[in-house]
Amino acid sequence: MHFTPARVERIVAVVPAHNEDASLSACLDALRTARTLSPVPVRLVVVLDACSDRTAEVVGGGVRCVTTDVANVGAARALGFRSETSSAGSSTWYVNTDADSLVDPGHFRSIVACAAQAHVVPGAVRVDEGLRDPVVLRRFRRDYADRERRGLLQVHGANLAVRADAYRAVGGFRALAVHEDVDLVERLGRRGYRIRRTGAPCVTTSARTSTRTTGGFATFLDEMAIPVTA
């Protein structure tokens, strides 16, 4: 597909949250800090998905809340962006992160820089080291670095940016409980949209266990805790 650069004029950042009262406040504080350093306006949207705790109470100001009861991360992400379609052409970028993740201060600035050469910017993650055995963290870093050296595309909902026109052209996120991020990027790739990783920002994400959702990033870390046998 021919790539036509487009000036970034607006960012919409969506955070799906299902019972995240313990982590969402820090996530939003990091996003607000990054917003102050962004070269373009940033709209923050939290999708409160089937929450039965105090998640709604910790959101605070400067954030739009959308409420649903789908209990599905793919559908929740899609709903967040669908609520902001009034300016969803090539000048708008959709940014994804998770309620248990922290963006760096220059997050949006880096995405704007990458946007000059891509439709999709999947970024790397680093793991919060407080919740896992050091052996698991070493295995994760080693495996992650090996995948990077081999040029394997690593996609995380905690750190994924997509140009709005490309996102809408492939139908956006599907209602998948896990791997909705990988599914979206694969469809974009098959359609010939340009994917860029160089210069993408990194996000710190939680190393919590997979008691909430089976099959996602936490499950991947759980599997690294299994002793390696000969």
Using the predicted structure, report yes or no on whether residue 218 has a pLDDT greater than 70: no
pLDDT, one tens digit per residue, over 30-41 is: 999 999 999 999
Using the predicted structure, report yes or no on whether residue 178 has a pLDDT greater than 70: yes
Cα separation of 96 and 14, whole Å? Answer: 5
Q: How confident is the model at residue 132 (pLDDT cuts 50, 70, 90)?
A: low
Query: What are the helix (H) ranges across the chain?
Result: 24-36, 73-82, 107-115, 134-149, 164-169, 180-190, 217-224
Task: Confirm if 192 and 113 have CB atoms less than 8 A apart.
Answer: no
Task: Confirm if 184 and 111 have CB atoms less than 8 A apart.
Answer: no
Neighbours of 36 (CB within 10 A): 9
Cα separation of 228 and 139, whole Å? Answer: 11
Residues making up the chain, counted from first to last: 230
Task: Confirm if 217 and 156 have CB atoms less than 8 A apart.
Answer: yes
Using the predicted structure, report yes or no on whether residue 106 has a pLDDT greater than 90: yes
Q: How confident is the model at residue 229 (pLDDT cuts 50, 70, 90)?
A: very low
Q: Residue 23 corresponds to which amino acid? A: S
pLDDT at residue number 230: 38
Q: 87-91, 110-114, 144-148, 175-179: lowest mean pLDDT where?
A: 144-148
Q: How confident is the model at residue 142 (pLDDT cuts 50, 70, 90)?
A: confident
Q: Please give the model's pTM, rounded to 2 decimal places.
A: 0.86
pLDDT at residue number 206: 79
